[in-house]
Structure 1
Amino acid sequence: MGGSSIDDDWEFSSSSNETRTMILVGRTGNGKSATGNSILGSKVFKSRASSSGVTSTCELQKTVLSDGQIVNVIDTPGLFDFSVESEFVGKEIAKCIGMAKDGIHAVLVVLSVRTRFSQEEQAALHSLQTLFGNKIVNYMIVVFTGGDELEDNDETLDDYLGRECPEPLKEVLALCENRYVLFDNKTKDERKQFAQVQRLLSLVNKVISQNCGRPYIDELFVELKEGARKMRKKQREVDSSEGYSELQRLQFKEQMRQTYDEQLKRITEMLEIKLKEATAGLEQQLAEEQVARLKMEVAQKRSDEEIRKLREHLEKAHEELRKREENRCAIL
């Protein structure tokens, strides 16, 4: 992040009702960048069909709505894809925290109706809760992409969820108190574009209301912001003092940047440790689930084998009984 985030915004930005900061999270290929573009009303994030993902680092873009409301959207790479290293995830999450200076008003979990809800997405949500605490679910909204495909099949989102919704996804929607919306990122219909964004913003406002107007902020946000505030204060003192040469001012500014980078590095390391613990715990959970599933399969096979044997015994008994009846009739 360098020193780019140590600016006046850290001190003077406001968490007023006019600003909404949203972060997009989800698996590579689910349409995070396209969703960000739909929200902002312009193609500011790179978005195209790609198996490896187009977004390589966190990026913030903003727009001002007609009512004067500022909307900040942070797009992220596939932070919780199984193939991503924890070091990269830690750095990118620290970067997100730096961008969301006054906290996060909504976490948009982007899923696609074109693919089934996977273990990878379960892991992503588990990691989010581990990194930011259970209260992060109070800020989560699920955005389903692929609305054009459902429309082509004359289906609604409720039809899709009724037909395709696995139990883990039901649990996620329950955690979010059924805050979900469907996006068609391919539509050229301006009324449809406007309507889906308005539905999302109404959910964001609902999240803000339920959280008493407070965005999501944890100790990492506070630490970064407080560190930046102190450094800005020191820099103004140096700038306003006549006792420093231009060289000394430049040296002090560089020292501030180094201090800030060290703070970021420490926070990144903390996030990496948390993420590794979460990953280890998840791997153990998945291994236990696999063992339990194998045991169930073995038990089912045994049960099927026992049922097969019972059927064979019954068939033999019926056959013997039939032969006896035939013999008895022949004697008579």
Structure 2
Amino acid sequence: MSHITDDVSYPAILLVGKTGAGKSTLGNLLLKQPHDDGPFQVSADMESVTQECSTAIISIDGITYNIIDTPGIFDTQLVTDKIFEEIAKTVKKCNYGIKAILFVLEAKRFSAEQRSVLEGIRNFFGEGAIDYIIAVFSHAIKAQIRDRNVMQKAWNAPVLSFIEDIKNRWGISPNSDYFPPDDYIHQARLREIMTFISSMRGVYTAEQLEKSLQEQEKARRQKEEEEERNKQEHEEKLKDIARKEAEETHKRKVEQMEREQKAKQEYEENLKRKRQEEAEEKHRQMVEKMKQEERERQIQEENLRKKQQEETEERYRRKLEQMRQEQEREEELIRQQEREWELRRQQEKEEELRRQREREELKKQREREENLKRERERQEQQRLQEMYRRQLEEAERERMRMMEELQREQERQQRLQEEMRRQEERRNECRIF
């Protein structure tokens, strides 16, 4: 059965992935329908045709499932959140749980965009869903569809890491343009995917999704609270800096006013004392006063210059210290990346050795199968020869039996003729008498 239905009455198979990855096409192929003319709508461009989750009935190995096509995941976070809400509503209707989550991704380099989609899906479903994910590569070239090893050789480190995380559960969505639905390779690729589905133990439940959503909401609230605390701390620091600067400015103004007031008092006292002196003494006093004020102004300017210079040097020293700390952090990050790269290279080397052992084991397996095949052919030939020999012996026995019957018939005919001859002789003798 392959008709669209809103009822989710069986364990579900969920199709998820980026917009344009080929989820609807895979769903139609699993339903044994034309890839572009099945129950699930398929678009030729990158716009998502599937806006809401749609469901069809599928039977695998005698067990009935609901296969659910979900909307494609966009780059825009707002749209993606709405899509995850639609998927969550559908999962909550799956009373019999999710049997498998088919993550459909294009068979090309594992880009940052695809990695972002994968992380979004894993965060949405939670870590418990990793045991139910099956990766299905779409848009593969002909050689990759024909031979899984060709597909594996095209993987980079992130893809290998992802495949290891899901316990090597991966398949290839066949292309009907390369291999028609009745082709052995087309059917074999679909059979591999269905075998993974059948072999899944247990189901992913709506309760697990609800727990994941609650954890995500809790993490979101904690992040918002942390950002709010940081914002308040930053504002408090700014206020403290502004307060200190205002106090320092006020202090400088008070000191300046005190100096001016003191100078004014001295001037008034001097003026009062010297009021009786001669005009020349007044002039000298005025000149002396002006010189004194100039010296004080110069002293003030020198003090201000020294203070500004000290503040500039302090800011420069702090800036240098900050740059030094940032450089140390960058150097530590580089060393950490080098360690990670070395570990990744070691893992890739171990993975290559493992694949080489698998290829050798496969070669030995094929040799054993060839030897077994030759032994079976030899035994079959011996059986046929024995059967032919028995048939010949049976035919020979049948011929001998027929020869014996013919001989007995000839002997009977001879006895009969002899009897007739004797009877004729007796009749002749009777006629003579």
1:36 corresponds to 2:27 = yes
Q: Which residue of 2 aligns with 1:166?
A: 156
CA contact (8 A) 2:92 2:206 kept: no
Q: Which residue of 2 aligns with 1:130?
A: 123
Q: Which amino acid aligns with 1:159?
A: V
Q: Percent identity?
A: 26
CA contact (8 A) 1:131 1:271 kept: no
Runs of 4+ in 1 over 6 A off after TM superposition: 220-223, 274-280
1:219 Cα offset (Å)? 2.0
1:120 Cα offset (Å)? 2.4
Q: Which has the higher contact order (CA 8 A, sep 6+)?
A: 1
1:21 Cα offset (Å)? 1.8
**1:230-272 superposed Cα distances (whole Å, 9 cap, x missing partner):** xxxxxxxxxxxxxxxxxxxxxxxxxxxxxxxxxxxxx99x698
Residue ranges of structure 2 left out of the alignment (5+ in a row): 225-328, 339-433
- Once residues 122 and 93 of structure 1 are traced to their aligned partners in structure 2, the CA distance between those partners, rounded to angstroms, is 20
1:51 Cα offset (Å)? 1.6
When the two structures are aligned, how many residues end up with a matched partner? 220
SS at match of 1:190: coil
1:181 corresponds to 2:171 = yes
1:178 Cα offset (Å)? 0.8
- Once residues 24 and 165 of structure 1 are traced to their aligned partners in structure 2, the CA distance between those partners, rounded to angstroms, is 22
Q: Which residue of 1 aligns with 2:82?
A: 88
Q: Which residue of 1 aligns with 2:192?
A: 199
Q: Structure 2 length as normaliser, TM-score?
A: 0.44
**1:202-248 superposed Cα distances (whole Å, 9 cap, x missing partner):** 1112222xxxxx2111426689xxxxxxxxxxxxxxxxxxxxxxxxx
- Once residues 103 and 77 of structure 1 are traced to their aligned partners in structure 2, the CA distance between those partners, rounded to angstroms, is 19
- Say if 1:109 and 1:54 are closer, same or farther in 2 by CA, change over 3 A: same
- Once residues 145 and 115 of structure 2 are traced to their aligned partners in structure 1, the CA distance between those partners, rounded to angstroms, is 29
SS at match of 1:23: strand
CA RMSD of aligned residues (A): 3.8
- Once residues 116 and 220 of structure 2 are traced to their aligned partners in structure 1, the CA distance between those partners, rounded to angstroms, is 12
Summarize the alignment of residues 250-265 of structure 1 with structure 2, pairs less than 5 Å apart: none
- Say if 1:274 and 1:196 are closer, same or farther in 2 by CA, change over 3 A: farther
- Once residues 74 and 25 of structure 2 are traced to their aligned partners in structure 1, the CA distance between those partners, rounded to angstroms, is 18
SS at match of 1:108: strand
Q: Which residue of 1 aligns with 2:97?
A: 103
Larger radius of gyration: 2
CA contact (8 A) 1:24 1:75 kept: yes
CA contact (8 A) 1:35 1:183 kept: yes
SS at match of 2:98: coil
1:57 corresponds to 2:40 = no
Q: Which residue of 2 aligns with 1:305?
A: none
Residue ranges of structure 1 left out of the alignment (5+ in a row): 14-18, 209-213, 224-266, 281-290, 301-332
Summarize the alignment of residues 109-128 of structure 1 with structure 2, pairs less than 5 Å apart: 109-113=103-107, 115-128=108-121
Q: Which amino acid aligns with 1:190?
A: D
